């Protein structure tokens, strides 16, 4: 199976291992990792974020998606437009007029939805711990279902979580199941 330009979105509530999962999957599959731009952008603000900031982040996501149209390897996105949509709705109670257009434009081949079974780790950017993680998880799942895109829920810790993601990618996209390689990687135990 040709995996040229296969685009995978890793989504889920805060502190569910999305960034580490995205980085390691890109490494294992010799792909590209598209980092979570929102975190870097908000960390650099010297004020609370506004609606226009999140709109800017959404436009960055569109550009990042468009820039990987014809790449010869799989691309792994650390979050995507569904998270941005829910974020705008929760934080501001409104959405940009273009949101549905943006969601349809970002046509991912598969979604990995990270379950909130890892401990929440507070930091200056995170704002949705506790019960909100479960609420957001269900919102993201509902949005993925609305798009009628293939997805798999990812649970577990360390190598188990990575292996579950690899099995899901094999099922959803035909990428090879790298479970044996992942389970042999002892560095994963300390990561999440």
Tell me whether strands 110-114 and 7-11 are parallel, antiparallel or unpaired: parallel
Collapsing DSSP states into helix, strand and coil, what is residue 155? coil
The architecture that CATH gives domain 7-190 is: 3-Layer(aba) Sandwich (3.40)
Collapsing DSSP states into helix, strand and coil, what is residue 28? helix
| Rounded Cα–Cα distance for residues 113 and 92 (Å) | 24
Please tell me the predicted confidence (pLDDT) of residue 119: 87
Label residue 192 by pLDDT band (50, 70, 90).
low
Residue entry with tokens 């569904």: 82
Q: Tell me which of 167 and 46 has the higher pLDDT.
A: 167
Do residues 50 and 11 touch, judged by C-beta distance below 8 A? no
Q: What is the mean pLDDT of residues 40-56?
A: 93
Tokens representing 136? 């957001």
| Rounded Cα–Cα distance for residues 113 and 109 (Å) | 13
**Count, residues in the chain:** 192
State the pTM of this model. 0.93
Do residues 18 and 38 touch, judged by C-beta distance below 8 A? no
Q: What is the mean pLDDT of residues 74-103?
A: 96
pLDDT exceeds 60 at position 140: yes
Other Cβ atoms within 10 Å of 129 Cβ, number: 15
pLDDT exceeds 50 at position 1: no
pLDDT single digits (tens) 90-104:
999 999 999 999 999
Do residues 82 and 104 touch, judged by C-beta distance below 8 A? no
95 contact partners, CB below 8 Å, separation of at least 6: 85, 88, 89
Nearest to residue 166, comparing CAs of 14, 19, 10, 15? 10
Domain boundaries, the chain: 7-190
């Amino acid at each position: 199976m040709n995996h040229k330009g296969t685009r995978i979105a890793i989504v889920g509530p805060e502190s569910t291992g999305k960034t580490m999962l995205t980085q390691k999957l890109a490494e294992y599959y010799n792909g590209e990792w598209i980092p979570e731009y929102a975190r870097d952008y908000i960390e650099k603000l010297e004020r609370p974020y506004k609606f226009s900031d999140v709109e800017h982040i959404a436009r960055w996501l569109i550009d990042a998606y468009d820039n990987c149209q014809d790449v010869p390897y799989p691309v792994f996105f650390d979050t995507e437009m569904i998270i941005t949509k829910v974020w705008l709705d929760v934080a501001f109670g409104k959405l940009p007029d273009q949101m549905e257009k943006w969601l349809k434009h970002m046509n991912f081949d598969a979604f990995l939805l990270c379950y909130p079974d890892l401990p929440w780790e507070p930091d200056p950017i995170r704002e949705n711990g506790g019960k909100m993680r479960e609420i957001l998880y269900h919102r993201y799942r509902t949005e993925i279902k609305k798009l009628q895109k293939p997805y798999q829920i990812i649970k577990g810790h360390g190598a188990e979580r990575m292996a579950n993601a690899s099995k899901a990618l094999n099922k959803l996209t035909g990428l090879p199941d790298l479970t044996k390689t992942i389970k042999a990687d002892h560095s994963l135990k300390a990561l999440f």
